[in-house]
Amino acid sequence: MIKLVAFDCDGVLFDSQQANIAFYNAILAHFERPPLSPEAVDFIHSHTVWESLEYLFPGYPDLEAVLHFTRSFDYSPFIAMMVEEPHLREFLRFLRPGCYLALATNRTTTTRAVLTYHGLADDFDLVVSAIDVSRPKPHPESFVRILSHFRLSPLEAVYIGDSRVDEQFAANAGVPFVAYRNPGLTANYYLDSFAAGPDLIRGLVRNQSFQPRRRS
């Protein structure tokens, strides 16, 4: 019986690619560095801000100055650039009151501001960001904390994510994984739109077995 549905944030709740690109490019420009490469765009999508800065500033002589600037940098203008995924709210309403809802994200200090701005702060029973744990995704600490909070086993939950980090995170936590709009991941189920979310959950409630699909 599925009692908990947990979500990633970037790429799942929101299409945040343009917001994140603009944010990191502004930091790079401040330090007179070139803009993000395609590979860097992929990296920042699923890693913490600190991991991303270390990736973007390899060998930089004063990384602490970069971190200090980033901490003081106002992310608010970029939140408005994030686009909520279609049919998300309908899916969240469908899950109530039968399921707990949680968020496990590698965002840090911006997580609450993002949810508040987009009117989703009250939709999740528990939010665990990278700032709330000592080891971010793909380490399972975030999901262990979520399961402990609700006193559930891994097979009473599912995690919806869109990246390789999310795939590894769910596997490390022993939680069935739903790949959102990314058929290249290894997952128990695949979801192309939240419009199809209710049918997916109904199937899980009917105790369909989890048989991981392999990448084509």
Q: How confident is the model over 130-166, as pLDDT tens digits?
A: 999 999 999 999 999 999 999 999 999 999 999 999 9
What is the edge-to-edge ordering of all strands in the sheet holding 4-7? 126-128, 100-104, 4-7, 157-161, 177-180, 189-191
Neighbours of 147 (CB within 10 A): 21
Determine the number of helices (DSSP H) and then strands (DSSP E) in the chain: 10, 8
Q: pLDDT for 64-111, tens place per residue?
A: 999 999 989 888 899 999 999 999 999 999 999 999 999 999 998 899
* pLDDT number for residue 74: 87
> What pLDDT score was predicted for residue 211?
41
Q: Render pLDDT for 177-199 as a digit per residue (tens, 0 to 9).
A: 999 999 999 999 999 999 999 99
Residue 51 above 70 pLDDT? yes
**CA distances from residue 136 to 53, 103, 107 in whole angstroms, order as listed:** 15, 13, 9
> Please, what sign has the CA dihedral across residues 142, 91, 199, 166?
negative
Q: How far apart are CA 94 and CA 150, in angstroms?
A: 20
Tokens matching residue 125: 């029973």
- Averaged pLDDT of the chain: 93
Confidence class of residue 41 from pLDDT cuts 50, 70 and 90? very high
- Structure tokens belonging to residue 212: 């991981």
